[in-house]
Amino acid sequence: MIIATSKKDVVWNYIGTIVSMSSGFVLLPLLLAFLSEEEIGLWYVYLAITQLTCLFEFGFNPTFARNIVYCLSGVRKSTGGAGAGSADGGGVDVGLLARLMKSCKLVYAAISLATLAIVAVFGSAYIAYVARDLDPLSVWSSWVVIVVSVFVNLYYLYALTYLRGFGDIEGENKAKVASKLVQIAVSGVLLVAGAGLVSAAVGLLLNGVVMRSYALRRLRKRQPILAEVRARNGGVSKEELADTLKDIWHIAWRDGVVQISSFASGQAMSIVCSLFLGLAEAGIYSICSQFSGAVVQFANAFVKSYYPAFQGAFARGERGKMRDMLDRGLSIYYVGTLVGTIGVAVCLLPLIPFIKPGYSVSIPYFLAMTAYNFFASQYSIFCNLIVNTNRIPYVWSYLISSVAAIALSCVLAAWFGLGMWGILLGQVVAQAAYNFWKWPKLMLDELETSLAGSLARGFTYWKARLRRIF
């Protein structure tokens, strides 16, 4: 079975990215209009905590999805070491697929229950501290809904993992679009109705429910092979599950460390900001980070849509196709970042003071943050390509850099009084020292190309495509 990326996959990956990003922007005017500055800051702390809890799945999502891709491409054994084994052309090993899918669901059930307990205890203590001056009824009613949504959103990730493993990028993003639209509609109506923080929390809860429902309906298109999987599930022994999990865990824990490290040096800065600079400034920082992150997410949506196809090409030893995907995706990333940055700085940020008088985001700070996120997202793209070859050599560099980023940000922001600029500068210094250049160079060398060469071929390709169209 050949995993390929269709035009629909690319289009829906962009639609999914746009809707995912715009959900925050659509709600932002309502949040600004109906919540206080401190409540806005607390809402972004909620978001940071929910994003943190998603990391408790510890790399199982990409690892299970990657192994399902390998299985569908003809690989006969789940793998946790370097490489994916060799596709033997003998078709799909349904027994292996059954073990992978059953293991995936069991893992997410265990992780979500453990995360629920941790968040309920330690998260509640943190919220009690940072929100001590806000209305208790509003804080704790919204927090209860957030805790429930943490469990729901984490457990239901297994359904999206299945879709990604089958290479159904279109279906995965349709599920995300449907869930986000429901979240926006429900949260928006409740905000206007005066429900406060609870409105945004309820929307987040329904996001997970709708996403899972759509994903499972989408999987019905794979009915022939899934019927075989269901028939085999009852025959999957505990020993087979244990062996499968052992193979998966070998690479999953490394992927998990990377995800946690990436979160710590990025999204977690909203939590750092709330501790050292207060909820109001944390809200401003988070809004700026939201816009900046949206730019690079939109820009790298194209290359991300090719990850399953890249994995399949690797399993089949098709190095030329791997290089072509990189060339085309990287050139789109550069152009998309430039256009998005200009658009946000010129068209969107100046509107915020009109929505909430006296509340503004520094354009120079946004530009600096976007420059940092550009290079951070670039090396992340290359790291994702490396992990698509089923190895993660960058675990310790991610971990060390994230610890350094947090430490430097705290020192520069609090002790040196640099505020938000200190938080950003700490991240720049920590990541630029090694990660910014090391992992792009590694992947480019393995594909026997260079950054300039890859961009040149990519721009040449898109120039030729545009000429044929126009």
Q: Where are the domains of the chain?
A: 7-464
361 backbone φψ class: left, alpha, beta (φ>0; ψ -120 to 50): beta
pLDDT, position 393: 87
pLDDT, position 435: 92
Predicted confidence (pLDDT) at residue 287 exceeds the cutoff of 70: yes
* Mean pLDDT of the region 356-373: 86
Residue 81 pLDDT level (bands cut at 50, 70, 90): very low
Higher pLDDT, 31 or 431: 431
pLDDT, position 234: 61
* Mean pLDDT of the region 39-60: 77
- Helical spans, DSSP H, in 94-235: 94-118, 124-130, 136-155, 157-165, 169-192, 197-219, 223-233
Structure tokens at 111: 């992780």
Indicate the DSSP class of residue 449: -
* Mean pLDDT of the region 109-115: 89
* Mean pLDDT of the region 206-223: 83
Residue 162 pLDDT level (bands cut at 50, 70, 90): confident
pLDDT, position 87: 47
**What percent of the chain stands above pLDDT 70?**
90
pLDDT, position 429: 94
pLDDT, position 265: 67
Structure tokens at 72: 């569908």
Q: What is the mean pLDDT of the chain?
A: 82
Highest mean pLDDT out of 1-10, 192-201, 221-230: 192-201
Higher pLDDT, 224 or 101: 101
* Mean pLDDT of the region 182-211: 87
Question: What sign for the dihedral angle of Cα 43, 287, 155, 222?
Answer: positive
**Whether the Cβ atoms of residue 22 and residue 318 lie closer than 8 Å to each other:** no
Token pair 């040196």 is at which residue?
Answer: 416
From the list 191, 168, 207, the residue with the least C-alpha distance to 9 is 168
Residue 79 pLDDT level (bands cut at 50, 70, 90): low
**Whether the Cβ atoms of residue 376 and residue 431 lie closer than 8 Å to each other:** yes
* Mean pLDDT of the region 15-21: 75
Residue 91 pLDDT level (bands cut at 50, 70, 90): low
pLDDT, position 458: 94
Please name the residues in contact with 30: beta carbons below 8 A apart, sequence gap of 6 or more. Answer: 187, 188, 191, 192
Token pair 């298109």 is at which residue?
Answer: 221
Which of 6-15, 363-372, 446-455 is least confident? 6-15
Residue 235 pLDDT level (bands cut at 50, 70, 90): low
From the list 334, 277, 278, the residue with the least C-alpha distance to 303 is 334
pLDDT, position 24: 65
Predicted confidence (pLDDT) at residue 106 exceeds the cutoff of 80: yes
Please name the residues in contact with 213: beta carbons below 8 A apart, sequence gap of 6 or more. Answer: none
Residue 266 pLDDT level (bands cut at 50, 70, 90): low
